[in-house]
Amino acid sequence: MYYKKRNMSWRITLASILTLGIIGSSMAAPIKTVPWNGHIGAVSFTFDDALETQVLNLKPLLDAMPDVHVTFFLTAYQSRLYENASLFAAIANTGNEIGNHSVTHWHLTQETDTELEDDVINFADTLESILTKHGVDIQVTSFATPFCENNDYVKKFINKRHFINRDGGLDGRNYWNTEPDWMTMKAKVWTRDGTTVKEMLTALDTAANIGISNNTNPSEAQITEGSWVIFLQHDVSKDSQNIYAINPDDIRALFQRAVQNKLWAAPFGTVGAYYRAHFAFDNATMTKIDGGYSLQWDIPHKHMPKSVPLRVRLDTTRIGSKTTIEQDGKNILPESDGTYIIEFMSQSLILRNTGEVSLPKASKIKQNTKGYKFSLYNLNGKPLGMVKDFAVPENYPKGIYLIRAESNGKPTITKKVVK
Ligand SMILES: [Zn+2]
């Protein structure tokens, strides 16, 4: 009897230790990703269709602006890729991205499974091998749909081989804490008869949270933070008969505005991977270990780039000032601004010399919205009616909405809400 009883109490103690462990690991880690790699916002310039004018006219501009890197979505349509492969290899060698825009540039929504396999999946491998032959070792991780045509069936194929896809339309803006649908990222599309260069320049101001006022269209209103804006371009030339051709001087002006506004002007796949990584890293699991804490997180997609450097910051209100960060057996030294660059793809890090980690302060997310009236809009700003709070009612279809809260004498709040 005596032994049995003792055994029982031991078991209870073990159970309570395990429970404590679980409680400990659920505490939010005192380290977070710095939005947009330390910039107020980001911009990705993307150029579709493997056009020779892009390389001929952009390469000199890009070579002169080391802070700007862009994405080329290549297709083998009209043998463009094969003719221009060495030019694209040279431009990829200087830090620009090569993405997949399908072999045939056909309407993916009309294709059979076999055609989708070829266009969407196999061509990513083909692109990698063609560019390897021209001396550049690249990883193709981004897709862009021809004609921006997409649906749920096509998305499944894209998702098998790419962690992100660009379509077109809307304002092309993304916000740090709103997780988008990675298989249908929107882009602001430039054409000679569509969006003007002036509007593109304004979009670069908006992304940097500059000069935004309280517009009447809620889809353009109440920008209170920087964002990531995605642009879609085609030819780069002075050919005014070609509605898809942007003048080299105009694209230079856009690059210059991006730099002047201190935006992170980086390829679609680079910003996309950083943005996607942060949703995983900022929810890392923290476990107490000897002399510190171990953090673990998941990789959100198996076709992320091999390396995703993430700029992170310690929450010094919750952690001792002697804290160090160790990853893959090495101490990571802070950058001059006190941030650290860690490797997201390593999936873990260790915090040492933390002292006692305090609980996070009550989050400010809960805004006091007493006395506010809430109206629901679709993404184009069409009013859909009044609602109770920042939640989309049950009877509305799944999608992204805007909810605008208004009150006399208090600032208007507009939020993008995903249902
Ligand atoms: Zn295209």
Asked which of 48-57, 67-76, 93-102, 360-369 is least confident by mean pLDDT, the reply is 360-369
* pTM confidence score: 0.80
Segment among 4-13, 93-102, 129-138, 281-290 with least mean pLDDT: 4-13
Instruction: Quote the percentage of the chain above a pLDDT of 90.
Output: 65
Q: Which residues of 185-212 are buried (b: 16+ CB within 10 A; e: fewer)?
A: bbbbbbebeebebeebbbbbbbbbebee
State mean pLDDT over 48-67. 94
pLDDT of residue 12: 36
pLDDT at residue number 415: 78
Identify the top-confidence range among 258-267, 312-321, 403-412: 258-267
For 369-417, what is each residue's pLDDT tens digit?
677 888 898 877 788 988 988 888 888 888 888 888 887 767 677 777 8
Amino acid at 207: A
CA of 51 to the centre of ligand 1 (A): 10
Identify whether 145 is part of a domain: yes
- Position 11 confidence tier, pLDDT thresholds 50, 70, 90: very low
Cα of 105 vs centre of ligand 1, distance in Å, is 6
Q: How far is the CA of 81 from the centre of ligand 1 (A)?
A: 13
From ligand 1's centre to the CA of 293, what distance in Å?
Answer: 48
Tell me the pLDDT band of 28, cut-offs 50, 70 and 90.
confident
Q: Work out the angle between the directed axes of helices 248-260 and 197-207 (0-180°, nearest 10).
A: 20
Same domain, 396 and 256: no
Domain assignment present for 403? yes
- Domain range for 409 is 373-418
Ligand 1 centroid vs 149 CA: distance in angstroms?
A: 10
Total number of domains in the chain: 2
- At which of 223, 258, 275 does a domain end? 275
The enclosing domain of 160 has a CATH number of 3.20.20.370
* CB contact set of 322 (below 8 Å; sequence gap of 6+): 353, 355
Per-residue pLDDT tens over the stretch 166-221: 999 888 999 999 999 999 999 999 988 888 899 999 999 989 988 654 444 555 54
- How many angstroms separate the alpha carbon of residue 249 from the centre of ligand 1? 22
